A and B are shown apart, each in its own frame.
Chain A
Amino acid sequence: MKSLAELAAIRDKMKDKVVIREGSQGIRVVVGMATCGIAAGARPVLNTFVEEVAKAGLSDKASVTQTGCIGICQYEPVVEIYEDGKDKVTYVKMTPEKAAEVVEKHLKGGKVIADYTYKA
Chain B
Amino acid sequence: MIRAQVLICGGTGCTSSGSVAIQKKFEEQIVAQGLSEEVKIVQTGCFGLCALGPVVIVYPDGTFYSRVEEKDVEEIVAEHLLKGRPVERLVYTDTGDVEETIENVSLNDTAFYRSQKRVALRNCGVINPEVIDEYIAMDGYQALGKVLTEMTPDDVIKEILASGLRGRGGGGFPTGKKWELARNLVPDADQKYVACNADEGDPGAFMDRSVLEGDPHALIEAMAIAGYAIGANQGFVYVRAEYPIAVRRLQIAIDQAREYGLLGKDIFGTGFDFDMDIRLGAGAFVCGEETALMTSIEGKRGEPRPRPPFPAAKGLFGKPTVLNNVETYANIPQIILKGADWFASMGTERSKGTKVFALGGKIKNTGLVEVPMGTTLRQIIEEIGGGIPDGKKFKAAQTGGPSGGCIPAHLIDTPIDYDNLIEIGSMMGSGGLIVMDEDSCMVDIAKFFLEFTVDESCGKCTPCRIGTKRLLEMLDNITKGKATLEDLDRMEELCYYIKKNALCGLGQTAPNPVLSTLRYFRDEYVAHIVDKKCPAGVCKDLLTYSIIADKCFGCGMCAKACPAGAIYKTDYTAPGKKLPALAIDADKCVKCGACVGTCKFKAIIKG
Contacts and interface: CB of A to CB of B under 8 A. Distances in A.
Contact of B60 (A7, A15, A20, A35): A20
Given A1-B267, A17-B134, A21-B5, 5 more contacts: A7-B145, A15-B137, A23-B107, A24-B106, A33-B82
Given A2-B269, A4-B145, A33 B60 contact: no
B133 A64 contact: no
9 contacts: A1-B262, A10-B136, A10-B137, A13-B133, A18-B137, A33-B84, A50-B38, A64-B3, A65-B61
Given A4-B149, A4-B268, A65-B84, A24 B62 contact: yes
| Nearest 6 interchain pairs by C-beta | A66-B84, A14-B137, A33-B84, A1-B261, A50-B3, A68-B85
A11 B106 CA distance: 26
Contact of A11 (B7, B85, B136, B261): B136
Contact of A23 (B106, B127, B133, B138): B106
Contacts of A47: 1, 3, 38
Contacts of A32: 84
Contacts of A23: 59-60, 62, 106-108
Contacts of A63: 60
Nearest to A9: B136
A21 B133 CA distance: 15
Interface string B38-62: 1000000000000000000001111
A13 B137 CA distance: 8
Given A50-B3, A64-B3, A65-B60, A21 B126 contact: yes
B219 to A, nearest CB: 18
Nearest to A32: B84
Contacts of A38: 82-83
Interface string A40-82: 0000001100110010000000011111100000000000000
Nearest to B146: A4
Nearest to B134: A18
A92 interface: no
B141 A7 contact: yes
A14 B135 CA distance: 9
B1 A51 contact: yes
Interface residues of A, number: 33
B134 A14 contact: yes
What is the interface residue range for chain B against chain A? 35 or more
B236 to A, nearest CB: 22
Contact of A18 (B108, B127, B268): B127
Nearest to A48: B1
B251 interface: no
A15 B140 CA distance: 11
Contacts of B108: 23
Interface in B228-268: 260-262, 266-268
Interface of A: 1-4, 7, 10-11, 13-15, 17-18, 20-21, 23-24, 31-35, 38, 46-47, 50-51, 54, 63-68
Contacts of B83: 33-35, 38, 66, 68
Contacts of A64: 3, 60
**In the complex, which of the residues A7, A13, A34, A35 has the most CB atoms of chain B within 10 Å of its own CB atom?**
A7
Interface in B423-439: none
B84 A67 contact: yes
B15 interface: no
A2 B268 contact: yes
A7 B260 CA distance: 9
A23 B2 CA distance: 15
B29 interface: no
A50 B106 CA distance: 20
A31 B84 contact: yes
A50 B5 CA distance: 13
B142 interface: yes
Interface in B2-39: 2-5, 7, 38
Contacts of A67: 84-85, 103
Contact of A2 (B107, B141, B261): B261
A47 B3 CA distance: 7
Nearest to A42: B84
B413 interface: no
A107 to B, nearest CB: 15
A76 to B, nearest CB: 12
A83 B376 CA distance: 36
Contact of B5 (A2, A20, A35): A20
A13 B149 CA distance: 23
Contacts of A2: 261, 266, 268-269
A1 B134 contact: no
Contacts of A54: 1
**In the complex, which of the residues B3, B138, B266 has the most CB atoms of chain A within 10 Å of its own CB atom?**
B3
B75 interface: no
Contacts of A18: 126-127, 134, 137-138
B20 to A, nearest CB: 21
A75 to B, nearest CB: 16
A47 B2 CA distance: 8
Nearest to B142: A7
Contacts of B84: 31-34, 65-68
B139 interface: yes
Contact of A1 (B2, B138, B149, B260): B260
Contacts of B3: 46-47, 50, 64
B148 to A, nearest CB: 9
Contacts of B139: 11
Contacts of B7: 21
B390 to A, nearest CB: 33
B60 A10 contact: no
Given A24-B62, A47-B3, A14 B133 contact: yes
B100 to A, nearest CB: 11
A39 B104 CA distance: 26
A54 B133 CA distance: 19
Interface string B269-283: 100000000000000
A66 to B, nearest CB: 3
Interface in B539-570: none
Contacts of B133: 10, 13-14
A20 B59 contact: yes
A68 B83 CA distance: 6
A50 B136 contact: no
A3 B139 CA distance: 15
Nearest to B264: A1
A2 to B, nearest CB: 5
